[in-house]
Structure formats: structure tokens, C-alpha cells
């Protein structure tokens, strides 16, 4: 493991089995001090056994951290797995509130900006708006010596689909073969976070595709 440095990273949305959870473990291996944030602390309790990882509830994250960090990994998100015409409008609005405005709220307390994830059938593309926000922040923040990186995440093998309702395809749907084949193309989370951590620690800015 890399010797412990004084650099620290705040990671939002650290639920067990998610990309952010794997990122916390990876940055620990890279020698950083980690603040793992979650709405429900019980979902990240297993991280509490690792030295230099502090668990922080979302409601008090600003008070507890007080700006003492070098990187902010914005990975908290809501997930809605459905076809466009089947999505209730109120649920779509909640998705945008979390995945776009929630990320922007955290980024006002920023040092780094993470995140756009586009996967077929996630038709309410709140992250498409987030992608534009990331590019705008990238242009606005160099004055404050703040770098912005938007990570376009492909198909990463995490438990995110376990927390979503499945879409029932009609019998004989032409999408069945594609769905079965896409699962075999998912990359392991540890492979994904290794590449992302390298991007972040090397100071990469702009946009990168991983997964």
C-alpha cells in the first residue's frame, strides 16, 4: 500500500457494493485519508474498520469536514430502471433532484466533480444535464485552482441493479439477446476504480470514459 499522505478525499453515496464504496477502498490503497459520506451510515459500516476512513452522514458532512479535503468524488445518485413511457413523472423529478441538483449542491463545496453515467433504458438522463454542468464548472473553476473531471461510466459490475425494479420484456422481444449479452460485458468494479483513481490523482480534467 502507498504510504499515508496528508491528502484527503470526500466520497458521496458510499453504499456497500456501489462504485463509490469500491473507490473508497481504492483511495485508501493509494494512501489518502477518506471521508465516506452516505445518507444511511449503516450502509457503510464495514468501512469503519479500515484506518484513515471516516464515516460522515450527509446531513452533517459540511460541519464535520469543514472544507478540509483535496478531492470531492460526487457519486451519490438515485436510480430508476425503466422505459420512458412507463416512468411516473414525480419519480422522474426526484431523480433529477438527486442526480443533478444534489450533485451541484455538493459541488458548491467542491474540489473535484465526478459523474455522468449513461446506460440504455435509464431514459430519464439526469446525468446528461450533469455532464453539461461538469463542463461548465470545468471552465469556471480554474480561477480557484480547482480541476473538474467528468467520468462517463460504462457497464460496471456493482449491486446498483439489485436496488432497482426490473423491466419485464415482452415474450419474444428483440432486446432479450442484447440484454443477455450486455451482462457479460460488465467490467469488475475494482478494475474501474483503479483507472478512475489514477485519473484523479494524476490531475486529469475534462471528460474521461471508463468501463
Q: Give the count of domains, the chain.
A: 1
Residues 6+ apart with CB under 8 A from 3: 31
Is residue 180 in some structural domain? Answer: yes
Is residue 89 in some structural domain? Answer: yes
Structural domain for 29, as ranges: 8-210
Of 6-10, 142-146, 171-175, 198-202, the range with the lowest mean pLDDT is 171-175
Question: For the segment 16-37, what is each residue's pLDDT rounded down to a tens digit?
Answer: 777 888 888 899 899 998 888 7
Is residue 68 in some structural domain? Answer: yes
Q: Which residue has the higher pLDDT, 8 or 104?
A: 8
CATH at residue 152: 3.40.50.720
Is residue 3 in some structural domain? Answer: no
Question: For the segment 147-205, what is each residue's pLDDT rounded down to a tens digit?
Answer: 888 887 777 777 665 554 455 556 776 766 666 565 556 778 888 888 888 998 888 88
Q: Which residues of 168-191 are buried (b: 16+ CB within 10 A; e: fewer)?
A: eeeeeeeeeeeeeeeeeeeeebee
Is residue 95 in some structural domain? Answer: yes
Is residue 79 in some structural domain? Answer: yes
The CA distance from 73 to 113, in Å, is: 6
For the chain, the average pLDDT equals 72
Is residue 2 in some structural domain? Answer: no
Is residue 58 in some structural domain? Answer: yes
The CA distance from 14 to 35, in Å, is: 10
Region 62-66: mean pLDDT is: 55
How confident is residue 13, by pLDDT bands cut at 50, 70 and 90? confident
Amino acid at each position: 500500500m502507498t504510504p499515508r499522505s496528508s491528502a484527503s478525499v470526500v466520497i458521496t453515496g458510499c453504499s456497500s457494493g456501489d462504485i463509490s464504496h469500491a473507490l473508497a477502498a481504492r483511495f485508501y490503497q493509494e494512501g489518502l485519508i477518506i471521508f465516506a459520506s452516505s445518507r444511511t451510515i449503516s450502509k457503510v459500516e464495514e468501512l469503519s474498520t479500515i484506518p484513515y476512513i471516516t464515516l460522515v452522514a450527509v446531513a452533517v458532512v459540511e460541519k464535520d469536514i469543514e472544507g478540509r479535503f483535496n478531492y470531492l468524488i460526487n457519486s451519490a445518485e438515485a436510480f430508476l430502471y425503466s422505459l420512458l413511457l412507463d416512468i411516473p413523472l414525480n419519480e422522474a423529478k426526484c431523480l433529477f433532484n438527486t442526480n443533478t441538483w444534489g450533485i451541484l449542491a455538493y459541488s458548491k463545496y467542491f474540489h473535484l466533480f465526478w459523474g455522468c453515467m449513461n446506460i440504455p433504458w435509464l431514459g430519464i438522463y439526469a446525468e446528461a444535464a450533469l455532464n453539461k454542468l461538469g463542463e461548465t464548472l470545468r471552465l469556471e473553476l480554474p480561477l480557484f485552482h480547482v480541476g473538474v473531471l467528468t467520468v462517463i461510466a460504462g457497464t460496471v459490475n456493482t449491486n446498483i441493479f439489485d436496488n432497482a425494479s426490473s423491466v419485464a420484456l415482452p415474450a419474444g422481444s428483440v432486446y432479450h439477446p442484447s440484454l443477455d449479452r450486455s451482462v457479460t460485458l460488465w467490467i469488475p468494479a475494482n478494475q474501474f476504480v483503479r483507472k478512475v483513481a489514477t485519473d484523479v490523482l494524476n490531475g486529469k480534467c475534462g471528460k474521461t470514459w471508463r468501463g
